[in-house]
Copies of this chain bind each other. A is one copy, B any other.
Amino acid sequence: MHIKKQRLLTPGPTPLYPPALHAMMASDLHHRTEDFRRVYQAAIADLKEVMGTSYDVVPLVASGSGAMEASVSNLFSRGDKVIVCSAGKFGERWVDITKGHGLSPVVIKKEYGDVVTPAEVEAALKDNPDARGVFVQASETSTGAAHDVESMGKIIAKTNAIFVVDAITGLGTMPLKIEEWGLDVVIGGSQKAFMIPPGLAFLSISPKAWAFEATSDLPHFYFNLKKEAKNAAAGESSWTPATSLILALAEALKYIKSIGMDKLVENAQLLARATRQAAAALGLEPFAATSPGSSVTAIKAPAGMDSGKIVKGFRERFGMIIANGQGSMKGQIFRIAHLGYFDFADLFAVVGSLELILAANGYPVQFGKGVSAVQEVYAEATGIRQPVNA
């Protein structure tokens, strides 16, 4: 077709909230002025509000992986034994970071699509009473699976270990009661449910985690959480902040507050449920079926079809950028995102396109069947009674 709008529909970068993008145009300001300090402090205060915590929240000019590394390099010490839940590409990243900093990770390894259970974490902590930390992904973006961080947190809270949660795609797509559930470190990134471009990461840090910071012996300079937290309280950043992204974040947070973080989560959950039902209506198998999250839904390509063909179909036929599988899942699955600035109209467009792409690749499809499954979830959620039938 002739007009194909580029639509960025991946689980990060996510679709941008236009007023946040427009706010970046006001970047002709200096970061060591009262004007900027006001924006910076407001953004941090709003971050704490939407994260629902009174803990310190520390922003970093980095992508999420930088904040992941900062949690290790600032809170742990050489040789520390830690438990790492690894159920996908980002679990493997925890292994790499902890090993890279000389920690001694006990890895609970699961197949892609599966999850680590709270019981397994409990058992690992029992077997390793000297473990100083537990690392997990709230939402494992590579597979679409979600971990039960509530149950894990409540187990870990009873130990001397701290619980470090990569919630980069978890924030805004699942409830995360930071203080109530014992989530000592929660990591987020700008290009996810926060609806702005990449370049900012942030961490909430509990008092229990700060106590770890006091004894940490790992070298770090740029990622200095203590220094950054102290500066942030005064509206300052340790190093030059990414002013354009802070302006964008401040604007996006106003929007997120206006709809409510719980509603943003519910939005993602409804879209995820609708996507699973659309896949089922089209006879497609979900991936990560035991514990599907709501940041992204991974769907298996039909037998004999490379999922790259589906991703390519979205791009070439409709201008839509949709995620393929990552790592060993490439070619096996495709992933439809829901985190942040996604709405039902997006999903009508995505599923309507998917049906045509599947048909173009020889897969039997009844046009409109997947879309109708999405519509039924919308109708149920909003109380529309379908006065059947035409």
Contacts and interface: CB of A to CB of B under 8 A. Distances in A.
B345 A349 contact: yes
A282 B390 CA distance: 7
B364 A388 contact: yes
A342 to B, nearest CB: 6
Nearest to A372: B368
Contacts of A2: 259-260, 263-264, 266-267
Contacts of A51: none
B349 A365 contact: no
Please tell me how many copies of the chain the complex holds: 2
Interface in A193-250: none
A367 B372 contact: yes
Given A318-B345, A356-B379, A356-B384, A259 B367 contact: no
B352 A379 contact: no
Contacts of A367: 368, 371-372, 375-376, 379, 386
A378 B381 CA distance: 30
Q: How large is the interface on A (under 10, 10 to 19, 20 to 34, 35 or more residues)?
A: 35 or more
Contacts of A350: 345
Nearest to A283: B390
Contact of A389 (B366, B379, B388): B366
Q: Which of A2, A270, A352, A368 has the most CB of B within 10 A?
A: A368
Contact of A353 (B263, B348, B353, B363): B348
A140 interface: no
A58 interface: no
A61 interface: no
B343 A5 contact: yes
B356 A3 contact: no
B390 A267 contact: no
A18 B7 CA distance: 11
Nearest to A355: B375
